[in-house]
Structure 1
Amino acid sequence: MKARIFDALRAALAERRAVALVTDLGSGLQTLVDAEGRQQGDAGLEDEFLPQVVEAIRQDRRGIVEFYDGRFFINVHPPANRLLIVGAVHLAQALVPAARLAGFDVSVIDPRTAFATPERFPETDLITEWPDEALERLRPDARTAVVALTHDPKFDDPTLTAALSSDAFYVGVLGGRKNQAARLERLRAQGVPAEQLARIHGPVGLDIGAVSPAEIAVAILADIILALRGPKWKAG
């Protein structure tokens, strides 16, 4: 890989932009293509071929593609999946290492500095801004999950309002069905559209009968991965 292509790839990932490195298997020439079909490199891909590359980026799909008399290897480089946890609570202490193990970049957001401490969350990105301010700055994208765990409307409600207006692929909130109903009523009164409210995973996590913080963390992470990847089995 030439230095300028490598630098462009590194810059795209730093900016959380998915790109594909397309290699002409005949000539060895390479081109970097982004999700808008813009290309940078030496291969000079045909305009008719670019939609296939863009679709591969959208589906996070790698492989060899034949186009006319050429063969190309499309290697998609998506940004890392990201989990933003609002609430430096006991459950978050179980969810952070589980999410890391699954390959997520994890940040914990909580303005309560007595809770958001390096001692409770070692080697974790701790953000002590108010949730809505933090989410505005972090700009959740299509590879970002947001989970609110505080059980406190003054934190959870602004989190949901900000997250639901973003491109986050998953928005979840802790709480029972009664709390969820009251929460939805509050958000409706604040003018949050029904189609956004329908995106909320609440009570958060798959219903696997989880009881302990570790089990609930597994249920939440499983639900996030299901939303990201989709089910692998279908009836019929």
Structure 2
Amino acid sequence: MRLALLSALNAERAARRAAVVVTDLATTAQRLVRAADVAADPLAEPIAEALRSGKSGTVATEAGPAFLTVQVPPVRLVVIGAVHVSQALAPMATLAGFDVTIVDPRTAFATPERFPGVTVLAEWPDVALARVGLDRFTAVAALTHDPKVDDPGLDAALRAECFYVGALGSRKTHAARVARLLAAGHAEDAVARIRAPIGLDIGAVSPAEIAVSVLGEVVGALRRKPTRAEKDGAAAAPAAR
């Protein structure tokens, strides 16, 4: 790999941005395709699919086979609220390969004993998330039901264009939440990205079942191919990944 290409790839890695190195297997010529440039690339579809899956591999092109080397930042799940659902969600998400962080200013709940093996920040979300640094490879799930705790996390997640933003609560609760976020200056299409009530509609009742539904929705947002309607909406909002 040429030094200039390696330096450019390392710069994308340091900035937690996805990129793909395309290698022509016949000529060994290489080029770097940044995530922001995928749509304009001749191999847009296979590159986009490689980024969704996070897997490198060989693809057929008109010029012959090419190898796509995928660089995707480690995907993070930030959970706002050290609640019972979070206790079930954290180990599930860790097993699924997410880097999990729990954020809750209530020190009685946000303890390493209740959340072994994951990062726990007993701080207000606006303080903690500024340090964590949200981005398009981060999912945020707000689970406290307390606007004082959830809203700052949702605000930060929307501004960072996280690939998934979800919030616990009824439709009535969410309507009030939407009004607050709009009043805080967020655009309607941005607020509409919040998945609420959070999780897949599987009839979940217990904290563990709700955690399963949340994780399923997060994985779907990360991996599945966007629909035509979602692609059309991308003109108003950049892609999440």
Q: Which band: TM-score by shorter chain?
A: 0.7 to 0.9
- How far did 1:29 drift? 6.0
1:178 equivalenced with 2:172 (yes/no): yes
1:98 equivalenced with 2:92 (yes/no): yes
Tell me the residue number matched to 2:234.
none
State the distance in 1 between where 2:61 and 2:226 align: 27
Tell me the residue number matched to 2:231.
none
State the distance in 2 between where 1:30 and 1:117 align: 48
1:51 equivalenced with 2:41 (yes/no): yes
- How far did 1:221 drift? 0.9
1:214 equivalenced with 2:192 (yes/no): no
The one of the two structures with greater contact order (alpha-carbon pairs below 8 A, sep at least 6) is: 2
Tell me the residue number matched to 1:169.
163
State the distance in 2 between where 1:109 and 1:57 align: 34
- Of residues 210-219 and 24-33 in structure 1, the stretch that sits farther from structure 2 once superposed is 24-33
AA at the equivalent of 1:212: S
Q: Taking structure 1 as reference, are residues 183 and 2 closer, same or farther at Cα in structure 2, changes over 3 Å only?
A: same
AA at the equivalent of 2:105: P
State the distance in 2 between where 1:151 and 1:167 align: 22
AA at the equivalent of 1:51: D
**Is the 8 Å Cα contact of residues 47 and 68 (structure 2) preserved in structure 1?**
no
Gaps of 5+ in 1: 38-49
1:66 equivalenced with 2:56 (yes/no): no
- How far did 1:74 drift? 1.2
- How far did 1:54 drift? 6.3
1:200 equivalenced with 2:190 (yes/no): no
- Which structure has the greater CA radius of gyration? 1
Tell me the residue number matched to 1:15.
15
Q: 2:134 aligns with which of 137, 140, 164?
A: 140
| TM-score, structure 2 normalization | 0.77
Q: Taking structure 1 as reference, are residues 142 and 52 closer, same or farther at Cα in structure 2, changes over 3 Å only?
A: farther
**Is the 8 Å Cα contact of residues 116 and 126 (structure 1) preserved in structure 2?**
yes
Same amino acid, percent of matched pairs: 52
**Is the 8 Å Cα contact of residues 146 and 171 (structure 1) preserved in structure 2?**
yes
- How far did 1:122 drift? 0.9
**Is the 8 Å Cα contact of residues 19 and 57 (structure 1) preserved in structure 2?**
no
CA RMSD of aligned residues (A): 3.0
- How far did 1:91 drift? 1.0
**For 1:146, what is the secondary structure of its paired residue?**
strand
AA at the equivalent of 1:227: A
- How far did 1:14 drift? 4.7
Gaps of 5+ in 2: 228-241
**Is the 8 Å Cα contact of residues 36 and 54 (structure 1) preserved in structure 2?**
no
**Is the 8 Å Cα contact of residues 108 and 126 (structure 1) preserved in structure 2?**
yes
1:131 equivalenced with 2:121 (yes/no): no
State the distance in 2 between where 1:124 and 1:84 align: 11
Alignment of 1:75-114 (within 5 A): 75-114=69-108
**Is the 8 Å Cα contact of residues 58 and 65 (structure 2) preserved in structure 1?**
no
State the distance in 1 between where 2:189 and 2:36 align: 26
**For 1:227, what is the secondary structure of its paired residue?**
helix
- How far did 1:171 drift? 0.7
State the distance in 1 between where 2:135 and 2:18 align: 11
Q: Taking structure 1 as reference, are residues 224 and 210 closer, same or farther at Cα in structure 2, changes over 3 Å only?
A: same
**Is the 8 Å Cα contact of residues 89 and 150 (structure 1) preserved in structure 2?**
yes
**For 1:200, what is the secondary structure of its paired residue?**
coil
**For 2:69, what is the secondary structure of its paired residue?**
strand
State the distance in 1 between where 2:84 and 2:165 align: 20
